Amino acid sequence: MENMSIQSNIHLKVKVYWPLIKSLQTGLLLMTGFTGFISSSCPVMNWRMTLGLLGSLFLTVSGSTILNMVYDRDIDSRMKRTVHRPLPSGQINANEALLLGLTVSLLGLGWAYILMPLYALVVFGGLFIDVVIYTIWLKRRTAWSIVWGGISGGMPILAGRVLGTGRIDDIGLLFMLAILLWIPTHILTFSMRYNEDYQRAGVPTFPSQYGIVPTRLIIALSSVGAALAIGVGIYALGLSWGYLRLLAVLTSGLLGLAIVSIFRPSEKINFGLFKYASVFMLGSMIMVVIGAMP
């Protein structure tokens, strides 16, 4: 009887805590880290390294997400979209979440250090930029904070590449640049959709500071930039022309939607672009993984 009660308690805790790590976002970042790792043609690939990469990245990305959630709980409580999250809704104690975030992050960093100190340094860079520079320092001050959000979002793919090659190289930086340029398409379409929410919470965004049309233009330009960076990265990796052809196809869809969103804007197109951008990035990552597999 007591065992069952402990089990249901654990089950309840996991259910409440799970949303703190934003599993979809964390999953996408893990995918980019794995892509960076596989892109190194894997002379060093083995289960210890692969599991180490995925485990350490999962812990550090989850840890930084939890820490962000703790710091941003006041913002979340003012936004319709986020008011039901576990922290603003009071389902979880902030100190408990803070302790969990720190513990999980440190475990992830420790694991990363055991795998390779340079890899751990890149992972730490991602965590520091995300939590300290982006969330604590800049998010509430300037709409340009998304650039730092983009850099931290690009760190997992660079980290994966570093773990595979043992150094920071041009291809890793190109892939990181691709993620950095893709982030505006993702975040800005999102901030347009929830513009009122962000304004209510007092978070500066591009739509509120510069208007909708310039924001749409930035989305279109960053989409092209992201596609170019991924394309050059795929070319530099020496993948077959077939992958570049498919990338051109996916890019034309992304660009087409971005252009439609400038000249025929609508809520549906905007959110479609947001979703397409995620599919585009996922598709690009899968291409690199399949193409680079030995």
- Measured from the CB atom, the residue of 214 and 256 that comes closer to another protein is 256
- The least CB distance from residue 190 to another protein, in Å, is 15
SS3 for 264? coil
- Measured from the CB atom, the residue of 19 and 283 that comes closer to another protein is 283
Q: Contact 264/223 with Cβ under 8 angstroms? A: no
| x-or-dash string of contact with another protein, 200-239, rule CB under 8 A | ----------------------------------------
- Measured from the CB atom, the residue of 127 and 292 that comes closer to another protein is 292
Among 10, 91, 275, 293, binds another protein (CB under 8 A): 275
Residue 281 is which amino acid?
A: M
Please report whether residue 279 would count as binding another protein according to CB under 8 A. yes
Distance spanning both ends of the chain, measured CA to CA? 52
Residue 239 is which amino acid?
A: L
Please report whether residue 293 would count as binding another protein according to CB under 8 A. no
Query: What letter does residue 239 receive in the DSSP assignment?
Result: -
- The least CB distance from residue 257 to another protein, in Å, is 9
Among 118, 212, 246, 282, binds another protein (CB under 8 A): 246
State the Cα–Cα distance between residues 63 and 40, nearest whole angstrom. Answer: 26
Please report whether residue 131 would count as binding another protein according to CB under 8 A. no
Among 12, 114, 213, 249, binds another protein (CB under 8 A): 249
Q: Contact 76/90 with Cβ under 8 angstroms? A: no
Burial of 248 (0-12, 13-18, 19+ CB in 10 A): exposed
- The least CB distance from residue 185 to another protein, in Å, is 14
Please report whether residue 248 would count as binding another protein according to CB under 8 A. yes
Stretch that binds another protein, among 109-117, 138-146, 199-207, 246-254 (CB under 8 A): 246-254
Among 74, 213, 252, 293, binds another protein (CB under 8 A): 252
CA 33 to chain centroid: 10
CA 16 to chain centroid: 22
Q: Contact 44/164 with Cβ under 8 angstroms? A: yes
